Structure 1
């Protein structure tokens, strides 16, 4: 049976030890923890990551044949799928940019005044491949002026009978001989995960996260472009619960689709299953903007 004096000594020792640990942790300055909803992530205080040095020649594999991905642009317009672009009348400005980058199955037909009509590069997720293939007139018939980059889990993108998504892409390449299509290599896919962990301090898989097409597109744009003008992407704090916002469809081409902020907040706060961490990604983009000549329009950051 411990005496009162012994208990006080033990409690004091624990208090001193805890205090020293806190002071040590604070003094190292290696990890600044931030909170977005219930998804906790860290902005690591270390030397900036040079994303351009992560690229190698075999990062983009030709879907058919032996083509080489050699695109490089001085100025790029990255057009998001956000309905913030509706009514912007930015189409003409976008089309005047040297290279334009779009995502998934975001169309231009009918939306030219706001999003432009020119597409130099289209980044497509494995989950959107079928939707792109179902609209050949919108996407594949215009392929002479567009390079497609497809991304997805390596098991779906393998060049064998088990890679179902790859087979869809391969058939499209056979049907449209002018189609210039590349698949992000398994090694490069792992690099995207590594970049996420390095920039946020969180392991993508262990934190139940899925990287968004926006993440793949932004990293690819930094790789291929000297400067990037992003259209339609909201800043990280746009969906702050304390600030009322008007309902805004997640996609400009789906007016009855889910609300943008509702989607962002639910995805950010979800603990079970795998979810995009849209707000976390945008916080990282804000840091990258200072390093890679990235600017944002409609809305401006």
Structure 2
């Protein structure tokens, strides 16, 4: 009887262990599927934007070095934008003299008013992990960060102060999962957001409208100590016309998104006497096919896309891409006239 009881106990134990192993294998595979799903969602985030806000093709336009690309969407410049386009086409001098510099607080609609002696503009580049530049970055009068680039855990590389966080409309959705961006020492004093006019605009009476505007109102209500600001349509049109003048082709015609880095540097030119930009490579860096591409695109995604692979794929993308290399060609030109200093890596005059 005792032997039978012992045998049953051993059998039950064996079955229990077997079931636990099966459950472990099942949960492990489920975890991998969830991880892969999240990664795929992150990689396709801009494609999702394009699907939700589809372009309106109307023809073809030549783009330097990239052949022919379908027009991304219909031009929606108002009277200001159309006049600005004409004036900037004739302007010989500094195009920044035409900058309306319109960043309005939400919901009060007060202008953004800040001056900084020195500014650290911190990119999201993976090569920042190669430097311990955190203290140097924080020593500036103002620190400007972009989109959802985190601080916690990366302080020695990117610093921990944030005076301004410049973000695209897409980044607002990530605040629910990146709550640390609005907490702790890196909590921004100001949050400035750009968005297409169908998501964020102001009526002639100054009333804010659009999905993104509503999100910013809620953000301002929940974070009373943070100044929440939005680019006006006039400011957005200025950036788009400036992009066309400096790169040689229209954002709309080339099917491009202007990067948040481009918006951030334009803001810095307006409010900073001395501008130090951290982590951006010079325009020729990734044009060399033999470059050793081991650096991640983002410092907070070390296993993600490689830097140069991302730059090249985006530069030639027919719809919804970022022209990172073309923008850096523009920054190279501005470096000589706009007090831009590039660090880690340093850009010399031949870059």
Query: Is 1:103 the counterpart of 2:150 in the alignment?
Result: no
Query: Is 1:166 the counterpart of 2:192 in the alignment?
Result: no
Alignment of 1:116-265 (within 5 A): 116-139=159-182, 146-158=189-201, 163-265=210-312
Separation in 2, partners of 1:97, 1:166: 31
Separation in 2, partners of 1:84, 1:140: 25
Deviation of 1:127 (Å): 1.1
Deviation per residue, 1:112-150 (Å, 9 max, x gap): 101000111110001111113433333256687521110
Runs of 4+ residues over 6 Å off in structure 1: 159-162
Answer with 1 or 2: which has the greater Rg.
2
Separation in 1, partners of 2:339, 2:164: 19
Residue in structure 1 matched with residue 334 of structure 2 by the alignment = 288
Cα 1:264–1:144 change in 2 (3 A) is closer
Separation in 2, partners of 1:252, 1:231: 12
Residue in structure 1 matched with residue 319 of structure 2 by the alignment = 273
Cα 1:229–1:262 change in 2 (3 A) is same
Separation in 2, partners of 1:48, 1:295: 22
Residue in structure 2 matched with residue 49 of structure 1 by the alignment = 94
Cα 1:66–1:34 change in 2 (3 A) is closer
Separation in 1, partners of 2:65, 2:137: 32
Which region of structure 1 is more displaced relative to structure 2, 179-188 or 138-147? 138-147
Residue in structure 1 matched with residue 344 of structure 2 by the alignment = 298
Separation in 2, partners of 1:202, 1:49: 18
Separation in 1, partners of 2:345, 2:187: 31
Residue in structure 2 matched with residue 12 of structure 1 by the alignment = none
TM-score, normalised with respect to structure 1? 0.80
What SS is found at the alignment partner of 1:156? coil
CA RMSD in angstroms, aligned pairs only:
2.6
C-alpha contact (below 8 Å) 1:105/1:131 kept by paired residues: yes
Deviation of 1:235 (Å): 0.4
What SS is found at the alignment partner of 2:253? coil
What SS is found at the alignment partner of 1:205? helix
Separation in 2, partners of 1:48, 1:274: 31
Deviation per residue, 1:240-264 (Å, 9 max, x gap): 2433213221110111221111111
Deviation of 1:35 (Å): 5.4
Residue in structure 2 matched with residue 7 of structure 1 by the alignment = none
Separation in 2, partners of 1:230, 1:274: 25
Residue in structure 1 matched with residue 9 of structure 2 by the alignment = none
Cα 1:141–1:158 change in 2 (3 A) is farther
Cα 1:291–1:245 change in 2 (3 A) is same
Structure 2: gaps (5+ residues): 1-61, 70-88
Alignment of 1:40-119 (within 5 A): 47-51=92-96, 53-56=97-100, 59-119=102-162
Which region of structure 1 is more displaced relative to structure 2, 184-193 or 151-160? 151-160
C-alpha contact (below 8 Å) 1:38/1:268 kept by paired residues: no
What SS is found at the alignment partner of 1:92? helix
Separation in 1, partners of 2:331, 2:320: 21
C-alpha contact (below 8 Å) 1:38/1:269 kept by paired residues: no
